[in-house]
Amino acid sequence: MSTVVTNNISSVGVRPQVLVVDDEPDLIEMIRDLVGPQLPCRFVAARNLDEARQVMTQQAVELLVADVHLPDGDGTSLVNELRQRHPGASAIVITGDPTIERAVTALRAGALDFLSKPFDVRQLTDHMRKALEHQATGAKREKRMQRLQNAVKRLSQARRVVSRKVDLLCNDLVTAYGELTRQLEDVRVQDSFRKYLAQAHDLEQVLCHVMDWMLRQFGYSNIAIWLAADDNDFQLGAYMKYTIAGERQLTQAMRNSLIPMTNRKGLVHLTADEAGEQLSPAELEFMADQSIMAISCTYLGEALGVITLFRPDSQPLTAEHAAALRSIAPIFAGILASIVKDGDNFAAQTPDEQGDDAEFSDGDDSTGEQTKNHRKRKKADDSDWWKRGEPPPF
């Protein structure tokens, strides 16, 4: 049976445990009475290999002091088992029959020291102290390595978390930048539209400026601007021909199909294939191969106008064009509301009632010489180039 021999020196924290394996009671007694008081450690004694293995299996061992000659075998074999069970422990092999071969064998097995009998208390104490210091240094190093490994693991986890957060932040920044870019583009488009329409003095010039601005922004297109009339109906206010003339059959078909669809949806954007599925047969007679876009211009929830434009599908209208239309639609609706409020109503006879590619008029010809004189007094406007039959100024 193994016995525990405790020294009389107290120390802070857990004291290292020394396993002494020897079948000589005198050696055990010497360690207990003479070496023990000089070292801050606990001693466990074993008389043979079997008892030593039980201790190493069940308890922590920081230092092994084992005799080579034991009743049941070579004590040097315990060194290998100690390294397997307690990798940080130190070992001292003692023997009364020292040879170079045995010393080499013990050191190769992992022993820190090889001590020959007989030895005095001072020698054994010094050797054990050095072995314990070596073990303590190794244990501290191991703890530091473990802390470093844990720190590296935490840093690695933190790096992954930070990396994910950075990715999310970058995505948010990209999204925010894209949104800011869109907002700035909206502001630019709205500012350009407002400045352009600021030059108009009546409804006719407003419509001319709207079409002129759209041609400059979107490129050549057929443009039709519809204005709200009584009983939820819409009348054609202006038509700009690019490839398709504004014949009465076309404008009436749009009035019956595309315009109500636009007021329901708010914005209509159709490719030629989609137009073939959604437009009426009367519209498709003219617009079968067209890229089409239309937007409802509302003010305080009331649709005051509809802007439509279309052109060959080989020059498609894009999402950027749709975004620009969304930007200017409220401004155009506000201007229409202001004109209605001020009583500057558009002509009673609208272009679709006058015929293809009709010009604007400020009233019926029956209003007499006063209307004709008013027309002469009106200042020529650059946006009226299409009415005057002039080539585009851009």
Alpha helices in 6-120 (DSSP H): 25-30, 49-58, 77-85, 100-109
Looking at the structure, give the CATH architecture of the domain made up of residues 199-384.
2-Layer Sandwich (3.30)
Nearest alpha-carbon partner for 62 in 103, 91, 27: 91
- Helix, strand, coil shares of the chain, percent, nearest 5, are 55, 20, 30
**What are the residue boundaries of the structural domains of the chain, listed by start?**
3-143, 199-384
Q: Residue 93, exposed/middle/buried by CB under 10 A (0-12, 13-18, 19+)?
A: buried
Q: Distance between CA atoms of 309 and 240, rounded to whole angstroms?
A: 9
CA distances from 213 to 195, 207, 210, 284 (A): 10, 10, 5, 27
Q: CB of 236 within 8 A of CB of 246?
A: yes
Preceding peptide of 40 cis, ω within 30°: no
Looking at residue 59, the DSSP 8-state letter turns out to be S
Task: Give SS3 for 303.
Answer: strand
pTM of the model: 0.52
pLDDT tens string, the chain, 394 residues long: the values are 444 443 333 333 578 999 999 888 888 888 888 888 888 889 899 999 999 999 999 999 999 898 888 898 888 888 888 888 988 888 888 887 767 777 777 777 777 777 887 888 888 888 888 888 888 888 888 888 888 888 888 888 888 888 888 888 888 888 877 777 777 888 888 898 999 888 888 898 899 999 999 999 999 999 999 999 877 789 999 999 999 999 999 999 999 999 999 999 999 999 999 999 999 999 999 999 999 999 999 999 899 999 999 999 999 999 999 999 999 999 999 999 988 776 544 333 333 333 334 333 333 333 344 434 444 444 566 666 656 666 666 5
CATH fold, domain 3-143, is Rossmann fold (3.40.50)
As given in the structure block, the two tokens for residue 383 are 């946006």
